[in-house]
Structure 1
Amino acid sequence: MNAEGLIEVVLPGKVEPEGLEIRHGAVPAAGPGQVVIRMEATGVSFAEQQMRRGRYYDQPAFPFVPGYDVVGTVLATGEGVDPDLVGTRVAALLKVGGWASHVRVDAADVVEVPDGVGAAQAETLVVNGITAWQMLHRKARVRAGQTVLVHGANGGVGSVLVQLARAAGAKVIGTASARHHDALRERGVTPVDYRDEDIAARVRELAPGGVDAVFDHVGGRGLVDSWRLLAPGGTLVSYGSASTRDNEGSKQWPVLELLGRVWLWNALPNRRRAYFFNVWAGRALARNRFRARLRADLTQVFTALQRGDVTARIAAQLPLGRAAEALRLAESGTVVGKVVLTP
């Protein structure tokens, strides 16, 4: 196995994409309870864009290998792991470490990818699909006939969210720039131009009684508008602070501010609820429950893909050695879908 050789992309510090480094080494061995995955696809998500700026609130110390998720084939198993897993295509949520030709993970953290689903297809739906599914069904508990507002409806998570919400029978209003509106309409989404329109006023026209759920990755001052747009009984799910990506100063403060707002709103006597969604919540305290929930939810997402409820939107596929170009492309805002890295 070690004859293959390990290739990984290293983020050495706060650098431009071209500052990423390529490192070579020995393929890791699978320890007890672990598997080694030969990477077939990994992705460029918003998290990596924040991490290279030092802005992701709980990123590790530099240097490290980024890569929030990975899809690949099990190359080796460690002690206590079923050896029949070798040759199986699996997906894993990592937070860091995915931008490598070989990735070692706990066997309990991998989810089998269904037959007929390609590696790049599956990759687009790992972190984005898990996030969208859990926010929609575990937090907001959206039901048929309800109306939801999705900010960044053309983005990585947003594009999956609108499709899952439509599959659940909800009416969807989505914010995006005008060039994405035709694509959103084709998916049954009512688009709102976040650049040229008064978003709150336009949403109130479309949903005079308020919306049943808002999914907000932007944070900042606009989060107050998101809260105010809720109907009685509605739910706000905040899951990011994209508006602060290029800010200086503390990377923790934007998240602490969001948590403070959520706590305050929930303390008020009203019939609305607010959540700050973190896909890793509960992992430290209830690891087995976290894993079971992740496995069940990602399986649901893959099933939705097979049914045609969700499509895999691949913006571009580039080899691992061109990670800098892939990151630059993802940050450009000119592509639709996920930028995928391959071996």
Structure 2
Amino acid sequence: MSAGEMIEVVLPGKVEPEGLQVRQGAVPAPGPGQVVVRMEATGVSFAEQQMRRGRYYDQPPFPFVPGYDLVGTVLTAGDGVAPSLVGTRVAALLKVGGWASHVVVDAADVVPVPDGIGAAQAETLVINGITAWQMLHRQARVRAGQTVLVHGANGGVGSVLVQLARAAGADVIGTASARHHDALRERGVTPVDYRTEDIPARVRRLAPGGVDAVFDHVGGRSIVDSWGLLAPGGTLVSYGTASTRDDEGSKQWPVLKLLGRVWLWNALPNRRHAYFYNVWAGRALSKDRFRARLRADLTEVFEALRRGDITAQIAAELPLTQAAEALRLAESGTVAGKVVLHA
């Protein structure tokens, strides 16, 4: 690839991972207020797994370039952007477009990556770190001495969430398959095997009075069980519908059903609370406020990494041209952490 060329991975429709298309083109030019970021690391999130099935609730029409987030170096800057930004390593939250060697981003949407943090390390903590930090500290407001339950404790978000919760002084129960239990114990997490154990019964034995917070990305029956495990004053944070990934039918219905449950539970005369977390919430109302909060929270996550409160869990690194293999690996359920793509 020459200096003036870019490559991008296109999702043409509902396809198996091998149906992804690699396309070449010219490096884009930034418009006013924009920068071109030379991608150094992007990732495979659960969102892309849903998107290739047409199951992500607000994905764009096919074809499009997936890629929820990225880390890279600012290559060029458009009018109105400080020239000093060129050459800076930054992170950006995109929703789509990150699976490309060069990406145009609004300069106001990039967050500097501190010195000493590698691109792949930082990439594991963009969408996953923001999600974990905001759910833990902005919604559940977990405090030292509390007990929390994290579903999918070995996953991209879950692995960050359990570490942040432990750093906050909470006791953590985490669901995962047996192969990940030793790693969870090393992090001070009490593991529960979601494949072989009765999760509600096991959690009630571990926390007879209920748990102070549950973080649930599964949806379906799991969300009802999660609500029932809360202690008085506890908080349920739902942030996905993984159980419906392979379903047919409306992609909006599982989310609408979740929102309906959350509304109903909060309307009941009880001291428990339920939230449906969406990282993009509030952006339409105030883009400036959204950006400021994103920058502040991602900076906190990067500082937690530098302190050693959390580690960057890289499941595998593959070149962008092997996005199909990366997506297949991420969907296999055999890895812990995040699968990272590099240019």
TM-score by length of 1: 0.99
3-state SS in 2 of match to 1:224: helix
Instruction: Indicate the RMSD between aligned Cα atoms, in angstroms.
Output: 0.7
Cα offsets for 1:232-261 (capped at 9, x unmatched): 000000000000000000000000000000
The equivalent residue for 1:153 is: 153
The equivalent residue for 2:32 is: 32
The equivalent residue for 1:9 is: 9
The one-letter code matched in structure 2 to 1:273 is H
Query: Separation in 2 of the partners of 1:319 and 1:152?
Result: 26
Query: Separation in 1 of the partners of 2:141 and 2:261?
Result: 21
Q: Which structure 2 residues correspond to residues 132-147 of structure 1 after superposition, within 5 A?
A: 132-147=132-147
3-state SS in 2 of match to 1:182: helix
Query: Separation in 1 of the partners of 2:189 and 2:327?
Result: 28
3-state SS in 2 of match to 1:50: helix
Q: Which structure 2 residues correspond to residues 144-223 of structure 1 after superposition, within 5 A?
A: 144-223=144-223
Query: Separation in 1 of the partners of 2:208 and 2:247?
Result: 35
Query: Separation in 2 of the partners of 1:335 and 1:138?
Result: 29
The one-letter code matched in structure 2 to 1:192 is V
The count of corresponding residues between Structure 1 and Structure 2 is 342
The equivalent residue for 2:56 is: 56
Query: Separation in 2 of the partners of 1:4 and 1:127?
Result: 29
3-state SS in 2 of match to 1:30: coil
Query: Separation in 2 of the partners of 1:293 and 1:323?
Result: 31
The equivalent residue for 1:95 is: 95
Q: Which structure 2 residues correspond to residues 284-303 of structure 1 after superposition, within 5 A?
A: 284-303=284-303
The equivalent residue for 1:265 is: 265
Query: Separation in 2 of the partners of 1:27 and 1:125?
Result: 27
Identity among equivalent pairs (%): 86
3-state SS in 1 of match to 2:103: strand
Offset at residue 286 of structure 1 (A): 0.8
The one-letter code matched in structure 2 to 1:34 is Q
Offset at residue 4 of structure 1 (A): 2.4
Q: Which runs of 5+ in 2 are unaligned?
A: none
Offset at residue 166 of structure 1 (A): 0.1
The equivalent residue for 1:235 is: 235
The equivalent residue for 1:247 is: 247
Offset at residue 68 of structure 1 (A): 0.2
Cα offsets for 1:126-158 (capped at 9, x unmatched): 000000000000000000000000000000000
3-state SS in 1 of match to 2:264: helix
Q: Which structure 2 residues correspond to residues 298-337 of structure 1 after superposition, within 5 A?
A: 298-337=298-337
The one-letter code matched in structure 2 to 1:322 is Q
The one-letter code matched in structure 2 to 1:128 is N
Cα offsets for 1:84-137 (capped at 9, x unmatched): 111000000000000000000100000000000000000000000000000000
Offset at residue 341 of structure 1 (A): 0.4
Q: Which structure 2 residues correspond to residues 35-114 of structure 1 after superposition, within 5 A?
A: 35-114=35-114
Q: Which structure 2 residues correspond to residues 124-139 of structure 1 after superposition, within 5 A?
A: 124-139=124-139
Query: Separation in 2 of the partners of 1:66 and 1:113?
Result: 22
Offset at residue 17 of structure 1 (A): 0.4
Query: Separation in 2 of the partners of 1:138 and 1:291?
Result: 15
The equivalent residue for 1:117 is: 117
3-state SS in 2 of match to 1:256: helix
Offset at residue 3 of structure 1 (A): 4.3
The one-letter code matched in structure 1 to 2:241 is S
Which runs of 4 or more aligned residues in structure 1 lie more than 3 Å from their structure 2 counterparts after TM superposition? none
Cα offsets for 1:9-29 (capped at 9, x unmatched): 000000000000011111111
Query: Separation in 1 of the partners of 2:10 and 2:195?
Result: 35
3-state SS in 2 of match to 1:91: strand
The one-letter code matched in structure 1 to 2:50 is Q
Cα offsets for 1:307-327 (capped at 9, x unmatched): 111100111111111110111
Q: Which runs of 5+ in 1 are unaligned?
A: none
The one-letter code matched in structure 1 to 2:326 is A
3-state SS in 2 of match to 1:321: helix
The one-letter code matched in structure 1 to 2:219 is G
3-state SS in 1 of match to 2:231: strand
Query: Separation in 1 of the partners of 2:29 and 2:48?
Result: 26
Query: Separation in 2 of the partners of 1:4 and 1:162?
Result: 43
3-state SS in 2 of match to 1:40: strand
Offset at residue 269 of structure 1 (A): 0.5
Cα offsets for 1:146-194 (capped at 9, x unmatched): 0000000000000000000000000000001111111000000001111
Query: Separation in 2 of the partners of 1:4 and 1:201?
Result: 59
